[in-house]
Structure 1
C-alpha cells in the first residue's frame, strides 16, 4: 500500500506521526476514567487514615475499572490535599481526602478559598473512633489517673497528635479545659511518627484515631477513654468521655472531594464507583480492624455537612481563644 492509503485509513507509518495521532487522540477522549485516578492523603503512610484509603483504592480499582493510586502529603493536620485541589485540573483524575481540619482553615490561616464552596464533594466515607492511650508500662491505669496526674504535675503530662490545630489537638484542649488541667501538646506529622514516640517513651500519651487498636490488643498500649457517643463493642470496659463527666463526642467524619468545576457526570461516576467500593470486603475489613463504621453521605449532603462544620469549628476555635495563624 502507498503512504497516502495508510494515511487515509488512519494508520501512522512512524511513532508520533500525524496520522497516528488521530486514533491516539480518540482513545484518550474515551469515557471517564481512562487513566489512573490519584487520591491525595494528608497523612504519612502507615497511619489508620492511609490504610483505610488504600483499602478503598484497592476496591475502587475494580468498581471504576481503572487503577487508583494513593499519594501521601503529610503535615499541617491533613489539609494539604484540599489546598492542592485548588490548583489541580478539574478532570476527575485528582482527588483529595477532606478531613475535619480543613473546616478550620478560614479561621487559622489566611486562605483565599472556601472549603464549603471551592471543592466539589464526591462522598463522605467514614469517621474515626478516637481515644487516649498510654504505654502499657505507664503507671497511669485509668482516665481518672490521667487527670489526677495532670493536676499534680501541671504542664508535664505530654500527649502526641498528628499536628497543631488538628481534631485531636482541639479536642484535647477542650478536655483539658473541662477537667481544669494543663497538658503538654507534642505535634507530629502523622500517627506513623507519633506511635514510635509513644512506645519509645518520648511522650507520655497519645490522642488519636483507633490506629492504636492493634497495639492495645497486643498489650503494648493501654486505652484509657474513647470519644464516641457509646462504648466500643470491642472494648466494653473502656468508658466514654461523657460517662466521665467530659461533655464531648468526636468522630470527625471524612471523605473525598475533587477540584471545583469537575464535570457533574464525572463526579457521578466517581461517586458511584467509590460508593460501590465501600461495600467491598477489603474496605469493610479495614474499618472493622480499627473499630470504624461507614458514615456515607452523597456529594450534595456532604457539601451541606461541610458548611455546617465550618460554623461549628469557628465556634470551637473562638471558645478556646485560637486566633488566625494557629494556636
Structure 2
C-alpha cells in the first residue's frame, strides 16, 4: 500500500510539473552535465572559404573548452539558409547547432516557409560580420564612388555589377544604394566570387560587389577598390572610404552567429554561449578572421535575438520597396 501511495504521489507530481512546464530531474541533470558527446555545427557555405575557415578555428577552440569535439559540417546552397532550415527538424538537445546568415531573415518574404526565423530558433551567440567592398578594373574611368554614382545617373541601367547571386545581401545592398541615390544599376548574378572575379577581369562586367576575394587583385594592381561597407575603414585598406563616411547612409557587415533548435534548454544555451564566447576571444580566431578582413562582432543570446527581430523588419522594408516579394 505504501509503495502504491508513493507511486501515485510521484505520478501526481510529474503531472503537475508537466502542466507547469517544469523540466524533469533527468533533463536538468542532462543540462548540468552538458555536453557529454560531440557537437555538430552546420554552416551554410563551402569548405575553405571566408565562413568555413574561421569557423574551424572556432570549433577547435570550443572543443578544448567543452571537453568534447565540435565538428563542422558544410551544407552549402540556397544562399546559406539550409542550416537554419535543418534546425526545424532537429532534436533540441544542444548537440546540433547552425550558423545563421542574413538571407535567413528575408526568407518569409521571398520563399514559402512554415516557420519563423525569429520565433523558431534559439539564438546562442553572434560571432562576426563579413567584409564587403565594391571593385572595378584598375583601368576603369570610374575612380571613386562619386564617379560610380555619376556614371549610373548619366547612363541609366548601363552600369553593370556582379554579385554572388540574386537576393543575397550584396545584391540587396547594391539595390538599396541605387534606390537611395535614385539611379539604376544592372545586376549580373554569379555562382560565386571566383566566377565573378574572372568576369570582371575579363571585361564581361563593369564592377563587382563581394567579400574580399578581390583583395589580392587590389593589392597587385589589377582592380580598384571604391568603397568598403563596414562601420569603419578596413585595416587592410585604410585609404579606402566607407559608404557611411561618403554620406551614402549604408553600413553592411551581414553579421552571423550560432543558433540551436527552438525549445533548447536555456541552461544548455547558456553553456553554449559561454563556451563559444571564450572560443571567439582567443587570438587564433581573431587571426583567422583577419585573413578575410573580418573582425569579431559579439552579441549575447538576448541581444542576438533582438537583432534578428529587428533585421526581419528591415529586410521586409527593403524587399517591399524593391518589389522583390515572393509571388502570392
Q: Tell me the TM-score normalized by structure 1.
A: 0.81
Task: Decide which moves more: 43-52 or 78-87.
Answer: 43-52
Residue number among 60, 63, 66 corresponding to 2:65 in the alignment: 63
Alpha-carbon distance between aligned partners in 2 of 1:196 and 1:38, rounded to the nearest angstrom: 35
Query: Is the counterpart of residue 208 in structure 1 residue 221 in structure 2?
Result: no
C-alpha distance in structure 2 between counterparts of 1:199 and 1:172, whole Å: 20
Deviations 1:175-208 (A, max 9, x none): 1223333222222344454444444544332212
Alignment correspondent of 1:99:
101
Query: Within 5 A, what are the aligned runs for 1:1-327?
Result: 31-325=33-327
Aligned length: 299
> Residues 59, 221 of structure 1: CA spacing in aligned structure 2 closer, same or farther, 3 A cutoff?
farther
Q: Which SS does the other structure have where 2:51 is aligned?
A: helix
Would you say the 8 A contact 1:76–1:189 is kept in 2?
no
Task: Assess if the C-alpha contact under 8 Å between 2:32 and 2:267 holds in 1.
Answer: no
Alignment TM-score, normalising by the size of structure 2: 0.81
Q: Which runs of 5+ in 1 are unaligned?
A: 1-27
SS of 1:95's equivalent in the other structure is strand
Q: Are residues 197 and 286 of structure 1, via their aligned partners in 2, closer, same or farther at CA, if it must alter by over 3 Å?
A: farther
Which deviates more from structure 2 when the two are superposed, residues 78-87 or residues 313-322?
313-322
- Is the alpha carbon distance of 1:29 and 1:290 closer, same or farther for their aligned partners in structure 2, counting shifts above 3 Å? closer
Deviations 1:236-258 (A, max 9, x none): 32122234342222222110001
Separation (CA, whole Å) in 1 of partners of 2:286 and 2:114: 37
The alpha-carbon distance between structure 1 residues 51 and 319, as it changes in their structure 2 partners (threshold 3 A), is same
Q: Is the 8 A contact 2:243 2:250 kept in 1?
A: yes
Work out the CA distance in 2 between the residues paired with 1:125 and 1:325.
34
SS of residue in 2 equivalent to 1:103: helix
| Alignment partners' CA distance in 1, 2:156 and 2:269 | 50
| Unmatched tracts of structure 2, length 5 or more | 1-29
Indicate how the Cα distance of structure 1 residues 191 and 75 shifts in structure 2: closer, same or farther if over 3 A, else same: farther
CA contact (8 A) 1:75 1:189 kept: no
Per the TM alignment, residue 321 of structure 1 is displaced from its structure 2 partner at its CA by 2.1
Structure-1 separation of matches of 2:190 and 2:61:
30
In structure 2, distance between residues paired with 1:204 and 1:238: 19
